[in-house]
A and B are shown apart, each in its own frame.
Chain A
Amino acid sequence: MASRDVEDEILRKWTPLILRSLLIVSAVILITGLVMMAVSTPNYYVERFHAAQSGRSHVQQEWAQMGRGAISGDAHSLLMIGLLVLTLVPLGRVAFTLILFVKQGDRVFALATGYVLAALILGVMLGRIG
């Protein structure tokens, strides 16, 4: 496949489709989470809001625990998943660019894009450590 065709296929077809879908999914999850919290645990929301105001917003959840919570209908876990899906949008964008450079056989730019992708993943690890 010619380089231009590869670019068209990846950038103009798949990237917008998947990234728009991720955006819509995250918005739906966030709205669902907020509605569920308003219905089931509005006091918990108010408590978390005041905790944030007083600088006590730190809540570190394991990913698996977050997933289990979301499945069982825990609104806080659902909101965390929604925010996580949202932050996956730039990650996805970089991943698609990496695929493009690899397909084009452009080693220097594949390496540069790989570094950016690795740095984004390192961000998660840094957050877990520090």
Chain B
Amino acid sequence: MLTIVGGLLGLALLAGFIGSLSGLGGGVFIVPGLVLLGHMPMQVAIGASLISVVATSAGASVAFVRDGWTNLRVAMILECATVTGALAGAYLAGVIRPPVLELLFAAMMLQSAYFSVTRQSDDPVPAGDKWCSRLRLDGEIINPDGTRSHYGVIRLPWGAGLMVLAGLMSGLLGVGAGALKVAAMDYLMRIPLKVSSATSNFMIGVTAGAGALVFLARGDISTAVAAPVALGVTAGALAGSRVLPYANARALRLLFVVILLLIAAEMAWRALDGI
């Protein structure tokens, strides 16, 4: 037993560490890790990953909310869309054939890699559009010199549409879908990057929690796998966040994107072989 638990802890620790350093999240590494190295079926890997996404986002988001970076109004209005997608995704994950899930996972990894290497816009607008202003979604950020800058929010319906997709991906594939969430808020809704990241982090835990609750209540979470994975990923993410300030984040991100592409190719190959 100790060998298995040690192996799972090590794998999860590494996934959490890389996920934290690269900003891609632990889910994109833990699912292929469990499938390719642990010889787990996709559904088991997805269930364990959802639990680990909940664990890793929990610690970070508490700090973001406390420090005032999270736009709670944007988070809750968009969460209506993601949680709906996540419930549908978690339900579908139980009925879709594993090779199809593996192929979808490989496609999701490509999307994640794309958003990681493209430059974020971080070009806020001074005032929101009609809908967003009516909902008072605009906010303020504190600049390094202590002054406050106002930012507007635009294109809520488009953002909400992408959030349904992000939620579907989360529930179906066991990932946080943070890259897509940040891209939707930053590119489309023109929310400042740091606010987008903090708001996305708050949302990731809730979205993954919706999926995890479906899996847990259905009895589809293997405690033997999920327990050590949750502990390992949390410890790995914590270690990653401590090392991050001293690391060359850009170079590391590019390195991990290459690794991600190689894993995506392996997953796609495996999936096509099984179809």
| Contact residues of B: prevailing secondary structure | helix
> Nearest Cβ in chain A — how far from B246, in angstroms?
25
Residues of A within 8 A of B252 (CB): none
In chain A, what residue has the closest Cβ to B9? A34
> Nearest Cβ in chain B — how far from A15, in angstroms?
7
Contacts A55-B41, A89-B54, A124-B213; is A38 near B227 (CB within 8 Å)? no
> Nearest Cβ in chain B — how far from A69, in angstroms?
12
B221-239 CB contacts (< 8 Å) to partner A: 221-228, 230-231, 234
Whether the pair B55, A45 counts as a contact (CB closer than 8 A) is: no
Chain B positions 208 through 222: 1 when the CB is less than 8 Å from some CB of chain A, otherwise 0: 111111111111111
Residue of B38, B43, B91 near A130 (CB, 8 A) is: B91
B251 at interface by CB-CB < 8 Å: no
A79-114 CB contacts (< 8 Å) to partner B: 79-80, 82-84, 86-87, 89-91, 93-94, 97, 100-101, 108-109, 112-113
Some 23 contacts from A to B, beta carbons below 8 A apart, are: A16-B62, A20-B59, A20-B62, A23-B59, A45-B4, A48-B224, A53-B41, A57-B225, A58-B218, A80-B216, A80-B223, A83-B230, A86-B54, A86-B55, A87-B213, A89-B58, A90-B210, A91-B213, A109-B73, A113-B76, A120-B213, A124-B216, A126-B90
> Nearest Cβ in chain B — how far from A108, in angstroms?
7
> Nearest Cβ in chain B — how far from A40, in angstroms?
11
User: How many residues on chain A are close to B (CB under 8 Å)?
Assistant: 62
Residues of B within 8 A of A112 (CB): 76-77, 79-80
Residues of A within 8 A of B208 (CB): 90
- Could you tell me the distance between the alpha carbons of A87 and B55 in the complex, rounded to whole angstroms? 8
Residues of B within 8 A of A80 (CB): 216, 223
Residue of A61, A100, A116, A123 near B80 (CB, 8 A) is: A116
Contacts A38-B5, A53-B40; is A27 near B54 (CB within 8 Å)? no
B1 at interface by CB-CB < 8 Å: yes
- Could you tell me the distance between the alpha carbons of A119 and B216 in the complex, rounded to whole angstroms? 15
User: Which B positions have Cβ atoms within 8 angstroms of A?
Assistant: 1-2, 4-5, 38-41, 43-44, 51, 54-55, 57-59, 61-63, 65-66, 72-73, 75-77, 79-80, 83-84, 86-87, 90-91, 94, 135, 202, 205-206, 208-228, 230-231, 234
